[in-house]
Amino acid sequence: MTRAQAPEPRQTLDPDRVAHWLARHPDFFVGREGLLQQLKVPHPEGRGAVSLLERLVHDLRERAETAEWRLEQLLDSARHNEGQYRRTRALVLALLEAEDGDALGQTLATQLAEQFQTGAVALWCPASLTDREPRPPQAPRQVLDDTAGQRLGALLEGRNSRCCRLSATDWKLLLPHAKAPSQAGSCVITRLTLGEPLGYLVLASHDTEHFRASLDTLFTEYLGEVVARLLVHHGRAGDASR
């Protein structure tokens, strides 16, 4: 009797080598569409298996939904930026039409309230600047004294601009012309400089989260640069008219 030969051990392919080979031969399934229909892959939500075609349809649908969401985000950002540009343009053009420092401050407060829902504004200028004018400044402009200057400097903590909470006590000191909140509000402060210190610009809100510490201050810094130049312009015009 001859002894039956033992079956050869079953050989299995290394999955990584199969994947590598298929990646190098993307046309393997051309003419083998029936094989594609037989392949099963894990369900994306862990519920058994589905055909490869079903999985591809699911993945393509998810990609389309993700692309649509990203496009909507981009459109929302574009609409926001366009609105911000239009409001900023209207604000700057209105400031350019102000005839003097008082009109500048009042236009600033009105435009910020209408265009950006800013609750209160204060424009602190040193006496060396306001003394050039024929009458004391009118709100929201204020004459910068040592008390206000020291407190504004302390709130800035050595920075050129900063968003921070504003206590009711600080509100009464820094925005004396505006109604103070019962407890606290928030503000953004920026220095006004143009070769020399020209004071401070304060934008405030009764909402403690309106000017959060994490907010960017680029817009306020830009506005401060515009206001500083206009203050110098009006100061020179006042000197020339004497």
The pLDDT tens digits for 13-48 are 787 887 888 888 878 777 776 776 677 767 666 666
Lowest average pLDDT, out of 26-40, 54-68, 129-143, goes to 26-40
What does the alpha-carbon distance between residue 36 and residue 53 come to, in Å, rounded to a whole number? 8
Taking only the tens place, the pLDDT of each residue in 195-221 is 889 999 999 999 999 999 999 999 999
Pairing state between β 120-126 and 141-144: parallel
Taking only the tens place, the pLDDT of each residue in 82-113 is 999 999 999 999 999 999 999 999 999 999 99
- Which residues form the domain of 82? 36-96
Whether the pLDDT of residue 70 is over 60: the answer is yes
Contact between 62 and 196 under an 8 Å Cβ cutoff? The reply is: no
- Work out the mean pLDDT of the chain and round it to a whole number: 87
Q: Are residues 148 and 237 in the same domain?
A: yes
Looking at the domain assignment, is residue 224 inside a domain? yes
User: Domain tally for the chain?
Assistant: 2
Please state, for a pLDDT cut of 90, what percent of the chain lies above it. Answer: 63
- How far is Cα of residue 23 from the mean position of the Cα atoms in its chain? 43
Mean pLDDT of 63-91: 93
Q: Are residues 201 and 214 in the same domain?
A: yes
3-state secondary structure of 80: helix
DSSP letter, residue 36: H
Q: Which helix (H) or strand (E) holds 112?
A: helix 101-116
What does the alpha-carbon distance between residue 122 and residue 203 come to, in Å, rounded to a whole number? 7
Going 135 to 141 to 145 to 147, the CA torsion angle's sign is: positive
What is the model's pLDDT at position 8? 58
Whether the pLDDT of residue 51 is over 60: the answer is yes
Q: Are residues 235 and 121 in the same domain?
A: yes
The pLDDT-based confidence of 1 (bands split at 50, 70, 90) is very low
What is the model's pLDDT at position 239? 64
Whether the pLDDT of residue 54 is over 80: the answer is no
Mean pLDDT of 56-63: 84
What does the alpha-carbon distance between residue 217 and residue 202 come to, in Å, rounded to a whole number? 12
Look up the pTM and report it: 0.74
Q: Are residues 167 and 208 in the same domain?
A: yes
- How far is Cα of residue 167 from the mean position of the Cα atoms in its chain? 24
Q: Token pair for residue 63? A: 């990609």
Q: Are residues 86 and 120 in the same domain?
A: no
What does the alpha-carbon distance between residue 204 and residue 118 come to, in Å, rounded to a whole number? 7
Give the list of residues 6+ apart from residue 149 with CB closer than 8 angstroms, or none.
Answer: 124, 200
Whether the pLDDT of residue 223 is over 90: the answer is yes
Q: Are residues 191 and 211 in the same domain?
A: yes
What is the model's pLDDT at position 104? 96
